[in-house]
């Protein structure tokens, strides 16, 4: 079994004990650096050399046809759930190979949502083998590497970046038609790293998830700004949890009201396509908790229809 408690990727093998890591704020300045041969190099502010893992990532990613990021500035808006549905929908076609990569290092939800929380990652000569939900749907997440699901991953940025690089270069993804990347909320280390690592191989686009309230839209605006800054194409916006149908009286009400016009307004303002709105269905959360595919379980739910329309539209935009 591969354990997550590897040393930080930016601590060289020959570094002294307690090396703060070459990317760290204290690189070359901490007490442990005294006497290290490379102290001078670390302490100087010279631009860091290109990451040595880049050529390996490029080689591994050459076999992946489409790379899609699922982003949202805000947490808990349904990124992981959407990623899982997207993965399942792609994998419904036997001819296609799909991979899901979960780079939410501190709160990996993908294993639970896909019902493979108890699995482990095994390593072979060709690399770490992903966990397969079905023959053509492979998954990689830090959740498979923890001794127990209770354990917290208390890592700072450089260590998270190291693991993301490993996910891209050491995982034996094989030939993939789609690689869907689930991200944590925010615009920080994980996001910068994944974009940097995949720059040469090319990212086909990002899907931004939001909920209707202004508090969430604010964060999504920041994410749009981020995508534009780093040059990632935005495929479109998805509004999640828009409206709730009471199972008692079938009336639709808005739990999270679009006080400022919701995703529709945001889409108009920013010129980004609104891919669709998914209503809030309590069975979505249930399916995620039990690790079953919502699309298969409740194909007649309005939310399923919305999901499928959005996924069709994404395929259309990608011209597949």
Partner 1 sequence: MASSDTPVSRRLQSVKHIIIVLSGKGGVGKSSVSTQLALNLYQSSPTARVGILDVDLTGPSIPRMLGLDGQGVHQSSDGWVPVYADRAQARLACMSVGFLLKKKGDSVVWRGPKKNGMIRQFLSDVRWGELDYLVIDTPPGTSDEHLSLLEHMAPVHSRLSSVIVTTPQAVALMDAMKCLSFTRAVNLPVLGLIENMSGYVCPCCGEISNVFSTGGGEEMARREGLKFLGSLPVDTELVDLLDASEMNEAVANLETNPVDGHTPEKTAETFTLLNRYSKTSSAKLFRNILNGVSVSLGETSESG
Integer angstrom CA distances of residue 183 from 51, 208, 298:
21, 11, 26
Q: Which of 93, 253, 296, 320 lies at the binding interface for partner 1 (CB under 8 A)? A: 253
Q: Which of 118, 134, 149, 273 lies at the binding interface for partner 1 (CB under 8 A)? A: 149
Specify the residue, 55 or 285, whose C-beta has the smaller distance to partner 1: 285
Q: From 209, 192, 241, select the one nearest 71 (Cα to Cα).
A: 209
106 is in an annotated binding site: no
253 is in an annotated binding site: no
Residue 219 found at the interface with partner 1 (CB under 8 A): yes
Q: How far is the CB of 248 from partner 1 (least distance, A)?
A: 4
Q: Which two tokens stand for residue 148?
A: 């127990």
Q: Which of 166, 187, 242, 301 lies at the binding interface for partner 1 (CB under 8 A)? A: 187
Total Cβ atoms within 10 A of residue 26 = 14
Q: Which of 160, 194, 198, 304 lies at the binding interface for partner 1 (CB under 8 A)? A: 160
Q: From 175, 89, 182, select the one nearest 140 (Cα to Cα).
A: 182
Pick the stretch among 35-43, 91-99, 253-261, 271-279 that binds partner 1 (CB under 8 A).
253-261
Total Cβ atoms within 10 A of residue 77 = 25
Q: How far is the CB of 127 from partner 1 (least distance, A)?
A: 26
73 is in an annotated binding site: yes
Asked if 223 contacts 183 with a C-beta cutoff of 8 angstroms, the reply is no
Residue 260 found at the interface with partner 1 (CB under 8 A): yes
74 is in an annotated binding site: yes
Q: How far is the CB of 80 from partner 1 (least distance, A)?
A: 8
Q: Which of 7, 75, 202, 299 lies at the binding interface for partner 1 (CB under 8 A)? A: 75
Q: How far is the CB of 149 from partner 1 (least distance, A)?
A: 6
Residue 113 found at the interface with partner 1 (CB under 8 A): yes
What per-residue string of b and e applies to 268-296 under the rule 16 or more CB within 10 Å gives b?
Answer: eebebebbbbbbbbeebeebbeeebbbbe
| Interface of this chain with partner 1, residues 162 to 181, rule: CB under 8 A | none
Q: How many residues bind partner 1 (CB under 8 A)?
A: 67
175 Cβ neighbours under 8 A, 6+ residues apart: 63, 97
Q: CA 120, CA 142: separation in Å to the nearest integer?
A: 10
Residue 268 found at the interface with partner 1 (CB under 8 A): no
- The footprint of partner 1 (CB under 8 A) covers 24-25, 73-77, 80, 105-107, 109, 112-113, 149-158, 160, 184-189, 191-192, 211, 213-216, 218-219, 221-226, 229-230, 244, 246-249, 251, 253-257, 259-260, 280, 282, 285-286, 288-289
Annotated binding-site ranges for ATP: 73-80
């Amino acid at each position: 079994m591969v354990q997550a408690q590897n040393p930080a990727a930016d601590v060289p093998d020959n570094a002294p004990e307690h090396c703060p890591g070459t990317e760290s704020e204290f690189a070359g300045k901490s007490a442990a650096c005294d006497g290290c041969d490379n102290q001078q190099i670390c302490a100087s502010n010279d631009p860091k050399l290109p990451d040595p893992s880049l050529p390996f990532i490029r080689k591994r990613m050459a076999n992946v046809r489409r790379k899609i990021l699922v982003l949202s500035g805000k947490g808990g808006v349904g990124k992981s759930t959407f990623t899982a549905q997207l993965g399942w929908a792609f994998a419904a076609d036997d001819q296609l190979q799909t991979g899901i990569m979960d780079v939410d290092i501190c709160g990996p939800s993908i294993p639970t949502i896909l019902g493979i929380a108890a699995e482990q990652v095994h390593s072979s000569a060709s690399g770490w083998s992903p966990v397969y939900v079905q023959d053509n749907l492979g998954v990689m997440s830090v959740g498979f590497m923890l001794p127990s699901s209770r354990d917290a991953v208390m890592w700072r940025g450089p260590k998270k970046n190291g693991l993301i690089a490993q996910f891209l270069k050491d995982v034996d993804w094989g030939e993939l038609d789609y690689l869907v990347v689930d991200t944590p909320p925010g615009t920080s280390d994980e996001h910068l790293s994944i974009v940097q690592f995949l720059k040469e191989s090319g990212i086909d686009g990002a899907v931004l998830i939001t909920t209707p309230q202004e508090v969430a839209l604010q964060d999504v605006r920041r994410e749009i700004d981020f995508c534009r800054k780093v040059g990632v194409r935005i495929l479109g916006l998805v509004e999640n949890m828009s409206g709730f149908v009471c199972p008692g009286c079938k009336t639709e009400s808005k739990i999270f009201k679009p006080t400022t016009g919701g995703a529709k307004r945001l889409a108009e303002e920013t010129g980004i396509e609104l891919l669709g709105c998914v209503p809030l269905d309590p069975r979505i959360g249930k399916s995620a908790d039990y690790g079953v595919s919502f699309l298969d379980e409740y194909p007649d739910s309005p939310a399923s229809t919305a999901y499928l329309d959005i996924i069709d539209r994404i395929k259309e935009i990608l011209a597949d």
